[in-house]
Structure 1
C-alpha cells in the first residue's frame, strides 16, 4: 500500500449521517424534554455538552481518518481509535443521558432483563475485558481484519460491552446505582488490572505479532512496524491510565465532599440540639 484512500474513505459519510441523526433526535426529543413522555424533564447544559461531545468523539474514532489509517496502515492509530471508542465515548454518552429516557426502555421486560443482567458489575467488568483481550490476540485480529463483516460485528459487540462496563460507574438511573463511591473506585482499579496484560503483550513484544501490519508501506511516517506496534501499546496504556485516573479522582473527591457535607450537617444538628438543651435549662432556672 502506498496511496491513501479518497475523501470518503477518510471521512465516512455513513457514520456522519448516523451521528447527525442521533444528535438531531437527542436535540428534538430528549434535550428539551417532551410532553408526550411521562416524567420527561429538560436536560441540563452539562448533560447536553457531554452527549454531543460523546457523539463528536465517536465520529472521530469511527468515521475520521483515524479509522481508515488504523485499519490499513498504523497499529498505533488503530489503538488510538480503540481507546477513544471504548474508554472515553461511553462516559460522555452516559453522563449526557437523562434518567427518564432510559426508563422508557426499561418498561420493556425483555430489554430490562437483558440490560440488568449484563450491567451487573462483575459480569460487565469481565465481559468487556475478556472480549477486548481476545480481540488483541494476533490470530484473532489478523482474521477479523480480513473480513469486514466479522470486524464490524466484533467492534459492535465491543462497543456495547464498553457501555455496559461503564454503566455501573456513570449510572443515570438512581434506582440501578448499586455501587457506592468506594466500590466504584475498586471497580475502576479492577478494570485497570484486567486491561494491563493486553498492553504488556503489545509493548514488550520483541517482534511484530500482527501480520497485517508487518509488511505495510506507510507513505507519511518513518516508524518501523515494531516501533508502531509498541507505540500502539503505549498509547493504549497511557490513555487508559489518564481516563481511569481522572475517573478515580472524580469519584474520590465527590465521595470526600459528600462525607464532609454529612459531617458538617451532623455537627450543625448537634450544635443546634446543644443550644436547645441549654435554652431549656435556662428557662427552668
Structure 2
C-alpha cells in the first residue's frame, strides 16, 4: 500500500449522518426534558454527551480509523483509547436519569444492563476481550475479515460501556459501588489492562503480520518503533484517563464528607443555644 485512500475512505459520511441524527434526537427529546417530570439536562451534561459523539466520529469515522487499519499500529491504538476509554465516560455523564428509567421499563434492556454492569463481570469481561483482541493471531485474522472485525469491535464497545457504568452510573438504585470501591475498581482496571500494553511495548520484533509488510509513505518510524509507540500511547492515555477519573471520584467523596461534617457542626451549634434556653426556662 503506497497510496492514501480517497475522501470516502478517509471520512465516513454515513457515520457522520448517524451522529448528527443522534445528536439532534438527544437535543430535541432528551436534553430539553420530557416536559412533565424531568427537568432539562444541564449544559455541562449536554456538552459531555456531544463531546462523546464527536470523539466517536473522530475515532471511527475520521482518517484515524483508515490509517490505523491500513498503515500505522500507533493510530490504531489511539483509536482504541478514544473509543473504549473516553467515549463511554462522556456518554454516561451526559445521560440523564429519567431517560435511563424509561429504557429500564423494557425487561430485555433491564436484564442485560443489570447483568453486564455487575462490577466483577464488567471489569473482567472488557479487559479479557481487549487482551484477546490484541493477541497477534486474533488481530491479524480480524483485520483481514471486515465483518468479523465489525462484530468484535461492536462487542468490545458494548463491554466498554458496561465497564464504565459502575463508575458513572446514572441510576442510584444500580450504583453498587461507593466512592472508595469505585477507586479500587479503577485501580483494578489499570492492572488488568497492563499486560496487553506490556506485550506490545516490550516486544523486540513486529508481532502483527498485517503491519509488517506495509509501505507507509508518510511515516518516519520503523514498523517496530511504530508498534512500540502504539503500546506507549495506549498506556499513557490509559493512565491519564484513569488518573483523572480517580481524582474526580476522590474529590467528590472529599467534598461530600466535608459537607456532611459541616452539617453536623451546624446542627450542634444550633442545639447548644436551645439547650441553654431550656435550662433557663427550667430554672
Shared fold (TM-score greater than 0.5)?
yes
Q: Which residue of 2 is the match for residue 12 of structure 1? A: 12
For residues 92 and 103 of structure 1, the distance between their equivalents in structure 2, rounded to whole angstroms, comes to 19
SS at match of 2:244: helix
Q: CA deviation at 1:282?
A: 2.6
Query: Are residue 30 (structure 1) and residue 30 (structure 2) matched?
Result: yes
Question: Which of residues 59, 72, 75 is equivalent to 1:74?
Answer: 72
**What is the CA–CA distance in structure 1 between the aligned matches of 2:259 and 2:26, rounded to whole Å?**
35
1:201 matched residue in structure 2? 199
In the TM superposition, 1:44-59 aligns within 5 A as 44-59=42-57
Preserved CA contact (<8 Å) 1:41 1:100? no
TM-score by length of 2: 0.98
Aligned pairs (5 A) from 1:148-159:
148-159=146-157
User: Deviation digits for residues 179-238 of structure 1, max 9, x if unmatched?
Assistant: 110010000000000000000000000101000011111111111010000000000000
Residue in 2 that maps onto 1:2: 2
Aligned to 2:130: 132
How far off its partner does 1:276 sit? 1.4
Write out aligned runs for 1:163-182 (5 A): 163-182=161-180
| Secondary structure of residue in 2 paired with 1:2 | coil
Number of equivalenced pairs = 283
- Give the whole-Å Cα distance in 2 for the aligned partners of 1:190 and 1:111: 27
1:11 positional shift: 0.8
Residue number in structure 1 paired with 2:216: 218
Unaligned 5+ runs, structure 1: none
Deviations 1:27-67, CA, capped at 9 Å, x for gaps? 111111234xx633311111110000000000000000000
Q: Does 1:188 align with 2:198?
A: no
Aligned partners of 1:202 and 1:236: how far apart in 2?
Answer: 10
Matching residue of 1:91:
89
2:270 maps to: 272
In 2, the alpha carbon distance for the partners of 1:283 and 1:186 equals 54
Structure 1 runs (4+) greater than 3 angstroms displaced: none
